[in-house]
Amino acid sequence: MESIKDKVAIIGMGCCKFGENWDQGAEDMIIEAAYEAYEDAGIEPKDIEAAWVGTLYSGTAGVCLAEPLKLPRIPVTRVENFCATGHEAMRNAAFAVACGMYDIVLACGFEKLKDTGAGGLGIGRGVHPVLEGRRTAPGTFAFIATRYFHTYGLSPEEGKRTIAKIAVKNHHNGSLSPKAHFQREVTLEQVINAPFIAWPLGLFDCCPTTDGAAAAIITRADLAKKFRPDPVYLKGIGLAVNPMLPHFEPGFDWTGFEMNRAAASQAYEQAGIRDPRREINVASVHDCFTITEMIDYEDLGFSPKGRAKEDIDAGTFTLEGELPVNSDGGLKAFGHPIGASGIRMTYEVYKQLQGKAGPRQIENVQLGLSHTLGGPPQVACVAIFGNSLG
Amino acid sequence: MVGIRSCGAYIPYYRLSRSEMARTWAGPALPGERAVANEDEDSITMAEEAAFDCTKGIDSAEIDGLFFASTTSPYKEKQCSTLIATVLDLDPEIRTADFAHCLRAGTTALRAAMDAVKAGSAKNVVVTAADCRLGFPYSTQEQALGDGAASLLISDSDVAVDIEDCYSISDELTDVWRTDEDRFVREWEDRWVITHGYSKNVVRAATAIMNRNRLSAKDFAKAVIYGPDPRSHGALVRRLGFEQTQVQDTLFTTVGNTGAPMALMMLVAALEEAKPGDRMLLASYGDGADAFILKATEKVEKLGDRRGVKGHLASKAMLPGYGKYLSFRHLVELPPQAGLREAGSATAMWRTKNWVLSCHASKCNRCGLITYPVQRVCYGCQSKDDFKEVNLSREQGTLFTYSLDNLAAAGINPPIVQSVVSFEGGARFYCMMTDCNPEQVKVEMTLEMTLRRIHEGANFHNYFWKCRPLRGE
């Protein structure tokens, strides 16, 4: 099995302003993201040879990308893999380029969530009429908080205070991100005292419901420098799908996810990373809820199992910390337009690797990671990027 | 001798104080409280609960009939006894029937079961009756009615109670009724209803069966007689010559008038106290009357291991207000549940009824792992189609993790207690917790399963399992 390391590069990226974009349809956000990416890469729309588009439920088929961008009868494929959908678009685009079939391709992800008339992602999941009758996203991720606190001996108050620090950190980082949905700071007390959405998770433990789109232009690594002096190389990308809904999975411990660990280990192996905490300089991880980010620290190998609290308390993952996580504010500040998120997270890593992250810029960034965890959750994707070959 | 081999009952967890109902309307209150079915309950789920209680410890393969009786069947067209039989995991090659429309339907089903067993065409027939009737808001009837269920197993051997004789009267009168379009119970003037309906028919049937058996009131340990209200009931039992000590309580002040199951619930309560040799008069009313003479055998004292009336009565929570009752019964229009997905599919439910209704999990023949719902390829060892189905419906589990979900509760009784239940052998069951105090929910608490009505997708009633803390513990 060959590694994808250093075979493809990102030469342009775009990201629309995330938010409750009442006055924009999906097509408007796609156009904003794609044209920013074209300009960033210094290419024309006609240079695109094939495209992949990711959306969970805001569009169907390749037409949802071909129509707004008027892509002229080239191959366009829609992909979907829950919250890893944006990553999945990039992953498939990268493989198509790596095999030599195309030289320049577009990967775009989007979601228009604010046309439903209700906040959140709805109540009830799955194909079967009653099996997941009133399942909600916060209700499910609250399972992790309840069980994690129970397993590692945190009282609900201690647990809440610990994950609240993640919300405070990400809101702070969001205040430095002009494209974020939320751009204001919150205090620890505000987070802790917010009304419960799904106990133990309160309002500020949940990311908002948001519209957005993001895009990436991918080419072969050996062609990348023809387009720009600072391309970003894909070092590894792993994807893992769990074979059972965790809710019914025998033996599942509800304190972390095997598919997170599997996707990370695939990506780390391809990238040749042995000690992720030391080797990775910036990470955009899936923080649909604050507790999700906490278990991500452990699943991705940043913190030892059961000990993320020590690192949270020490400020390890703040902008000034040892390994800044969600330097742009994460899903907490950007919201989670599902199909867009994996690419939006990569957009931050890309900017950090190019030294173009403005007030959020971290020093000496050479390797960055983006990660999504999707569905019940049942899908995880980890991608590693670097700013030099080798 | 044909008789009652086992019995069970069900009373919903929630009670509503009648003075609370009266306070809302600034009107007069009847004494005591009434039982109120939860928002996820109906006559099918309550009848199923009672039948579960009744058939505890009995091999389901022995049961060859199930009769359901109710005036509030959730379906006008579609049999409910088939659904209850599937939930009880009974063999499909049995007889099922629904007895409907009449307050006497419970005892009518009992008599039909008895006749079937007596004729030798069945050996063990479950009779299960439930009602969830609605009085007009602000009416006395609304306070007087209550929700509940009772179940009897009628058999030709091992009986705890012999059925010595029975007697029926059919009498055409429109005293208490609902047309096919009515939601609320209608009544003619109560003086006529009591005099020429209830009293006349019950006295006639009770007198006739006592005379035929050369028995008088003093020969009975208990008179188990339906009563729409304590006053009419008191007058009737006095007229039949019974002393107060012989009279079985109607449960009026604790449960309310439950309709079709009422006489059977009273009988279950009577059997909880009965001694071998006790003779009982059972009588019910509705468009005529049914009367039975029953005699307890020495096995009556071994009926103990069930919740019955006593256990369910002791396990309760008071509803905080009349508004909850109105919302549970959909008597007021609540805000629409934005974002709620209620998909329904008759074919999907039919295909999966072994796990949706019968609560089957798969147990791998190779690695022994138990998984819910049934999996063709084993999660543990990937062996294909090599499993046997095991039933989790009567197993107890523990709460592995939970959440008090306010988002999921949009429009109904918040919060939804989202739960993951862990069973011995490996199975995990994700479901909602019902009949609980959310503040008392704890990881590792012991839980049991209960079938509930989940939603109305595709314009039919969708049933599925929930978990709940053990009733009465």
Selected catalytic residue, list A181, A286, A336, A371 = A336
> What is the separation of C-alpha A121 from the centre of its chain, rounded to a whole number of angstroms?
17
ipTM of the complex: 0.96
Backbone phi, then psi, for A125, in 5-degree steps?
-140, 170
Q: What is the domain-level CATH number for residue A240?
A: 3.40.47.10
pLDDT tens per residue across span B344-399 = 999 999 999 999 999 999 999 999 999 999 999 999 999 999 999 999 999 999 99
List all residues 6 or more positions away from B30 whose beta carbon is below 8 Å from its beta carbon: B18, B22, B140, B143, B144
Q: What is the pLDDT of residue A38?
A: 98
Instruction: Name the amino acid, one letter, at A189.
Output: E
Full-model pTM:
0.96
Q: In this predicted structure, what is the pLDDT of residue B134?
A: 98
Alpha-carbon gap, residue B450 to B396, rounded angstroms = 11
Between A258-271 and A290-299, two packed helices, what is the crossing angle to 10 degrees? 50
Is A83 known to be catalytic?
Answer: yes
Amino acid (1-letter code) at residue B92? P
CA distances from B438 to A357, B75, B414, B446 (A): 46, 32, 9, 14
| A311 inside domain | yes
Q: Is the pLDDT of residue A115 over 90?
A: yes
Evaluate whether A116 touches A22 at the Cβ level (below 8 Å): no
Strands B387-391 and B370-371: unpaired
Q: What's the mean pLDDT in A118-141? A: 92
Residues of A in contact with B418 (CB under 8 A): 134-136, 139-140, 142-143, 198
Q: How confident is the model at residue A119 (pLDDT cuts 50, 70, 90)?
A: confident
Residues A92-120 have a mean pLDDT of 95
Output the average pLDDT for chain A. Answer: 97
Q: Print burial letters for B100-126: b (CB count within 10 Å at least 16), e (below 16).
A: bbbbbbbbbbbbbbbebbeeeebbbbb
Could you tell me the sign of the dihedral formed by the alpha carbons of A350, A356, A359, A362, in that order? Answer: positive
Of the residues A16, A83, A207, A381, which is catalytic?
A83
pLDDT at A187: 98
Q: Considering only CA atoms, give the Rg of chain A.
A: 19
**Rounded distance between C-alpha atoms, residue A111 and residue A91, angstroms:** 18
Distance (Å) from the alpha carbon of A171 to chain B's nearest alpha carbon: 23
Q: Reply yes or no on domain B3-328 having CATH 3.40.50.2000.
A: no
Phi and psi at A192, nearest 5°, equal -65, -35
Closest to B356 measured CA to CA, from B432, B424, B451: B451
Contacts of A207 in chain B (CB under 8 A): none
**pLDDT score of A117:** 86
Structural domains of chain A, count? 1
Closest residue, chain A, to B410 (C-alpha)? A123
Q: Which residues have C-beta within 8 Å of that of residue A261, sequence separation ≥ 6?
A: A299
- B417: nearest Cα among B365, B378, B469: B469
pLDDT digits (tens, 9 = 90+) for B161-189: 999 999 999 999 999 999 999 999 999 99
Q: B153 forms bridges with which residues in the sheet? A: B6, B126
> A172 vs chain B: nearest CA distance in angstroms?
27
Q: From the candidates A136, A149, A252, which should be mutated to test the interface with B, based on the most B CB atoms within 10 A?
A: A136
Q: Would you state the pLDDT for residue A2?
A: 86
- Locate B361 and state its tokens: 């999990």
pLDDT score of B473: 66
Q: Which of B349, B379, B416 sits opposite A134 (nearest CB)?
A: B416
Chain B neighbours among A 116-175 (CB < 8 Å)? 116-125, 127-136, 138-140, 142-147, 150
Q: Distance (Å) from the C-alpha of residue B402 to the closest C-alpha of chain A? A: 5
pLDDT of residue B410 exceeding 80, the answer is no
Closest C-alpha among B472, B308, B325, B302 to residue B25: B325
- Using an 8 Å CB-CB cutoff, list chain B residues near A121: 339
State how far the Cα of A131 lies from the Cα of A134, in Å rounded to an integer. Answer: 9
For B390, phi then psi, to 5°, come to -120, 150
Q: pLDDT over 90 for what percent of chain A?
A: 97
The distance from CA A371 to its chain's CA centroid, rounded to whole angstroms, is: 5
CA distance A370 to chain B (A): 29
Scan residues 324-343 of B and list those with Cβ closer than 8 Å to A. 337-343
- What token pair was written down for B292? 């039975």
Mean pLDDT of chain B: 96
Rounded to an integer, what distance in angstroms lies between the CA atom of residue B375 and that of residue B363?
9
The answer to whether residue A373 sits within a structural domain is: yes
What is the per-residue pLDDT for A1? 79
For position B315, what pLDDT does the model report?
A: 96
Annotated active-site residue A181? The verdict is no
Q: Per-residue b/e over A232-271, b at no fewer than 16 CB within 10 Å?
A: bbbbbbbbbbbeebbbbbbebebbbbbbbbbbbbbbbebb
Of A124, A135, A147, the CB nearest to B401: A147
How far is the first Cα of chain B from the last one, in angstroms, to the nearest whole number? Answer: 37
How far apart are the CA of A124 and the nearest CA of chain B, in angstroms?
A: 5
pLDDT tens per residue across span B288-308: 999 999 999 999 998 878 999
- Rounded Cα gap, residues A29 and A65, in angstroms: 11
Does residue A132 sit within a domain?
Answer: no
Closest CB to A248 among B349, B408, B428: B428
Q: In this structure, which amino acid lies at residue A279?
A: E
Q: What is the pLDDT of residues A49-91, one digit of tens each?
A: 999 999 999 999 999 999 999 999 999 999 999 999 999 999 9
Q: Do B405 and A134 touch (CB under 8 A)?
A: yes
- Per-residue pLDDT band for B341 (boundaries 50, 70, 90) equals confident
Band the pLDDT of B338: cuts 50, 70, 90.
confident
- Tell me whether residue A163 is in a domain: no
Burial B215-234 (b: 16+ CB within 10 A, else e): bebeebbbbbbbbbbbebbe
Give the SS3 label for residue B416.
Answer: strand
The tokens of B15 are what?
Answer: 């009670």
SS3 letters across B343-385:
CCCHHHHHHCHHHHCCCEEEEECCCCCEECCCCCECCCCCCEC
Q: Of A129, A250, A252, which is closest to B348 when you measure between CB atoms?
A: A129
DSSP state of A269: H
- Chain B residues inside the 8 Å CB shell of A244: 371, 375, 379
Q: Is B340 within 8 Å of A199 when comparing Cβ atoms?
A: no
In this predicted model, what pLDDT tens digit does every residue of A328-360 receive, in sequence order?
Answer: 999 999 999 999 999 999 999 999 999 999 999
What chain B residue is nearest to A147 in terms of C-alpha separation?
B401
* Residue B1 confidence (pLDDT): 83
B30 near A CB under 8 A: no
d(CA A368, CA A372): 14
pLDDT score at B411:
62
Phi and psi at residue B376, to the nearest 5°: -75, -40
Phi/psi at B45 (5° precision): -70, -35
B91 DSSP 8-state letter? -
Across the interface, which of B402, B426, B458 has its CB nearest the CB of A146? B402
Please judge whether B430 and A120 are an interchain contact, meaning their C-beta atoms are less than 8 angstroms apart: no
| Substitution target from B401, B404, B413, B422 for chain A, most A beta carbons within 10 A | B401
Question: What's the Rg (C-alpha) of chain B?
Answer: 22
Does B281 score more than 90 pLDDT?
Answer: yes
- Residues from chain B that touch A203, judged by Cβ atoms under 8 A, are none
B352 neighbourhood in chain A, CB within 8 Å: 128
pLDDT at A257: 97
A92-126 CB burial, b ≥16 within 10 A, e <16: bbbbbbbeeebebbbbbbbbbbbeeebbbbbbbbe
Quick check: B430 and A135 CB within 8 A? yes
Residues of A in contact with B406 (CB under 8 A): 195-199
Confidence at residue A16, expressed as pLDDT on a 0 to 100 scale: 98
Distance of alpha carbon A91 from alpha carbon A374, whole angstroms: 15
**What's residue A214's pLDDT?**
98
Please name the residues between 358 and 387 in chain B that touch chain A, using a CB distance below 8 Å: 369-373, 375, 379-380
For residue B231, the 8-state DSSP code is H
The end-to-end CA distance of chain A, in Å, is: 18
pLDDT attached to residue B248: 98
Residue among A135, A196, A250 minimizing CB distance to B406: A196
Q: For residue A136, is it within any domain?
A: no
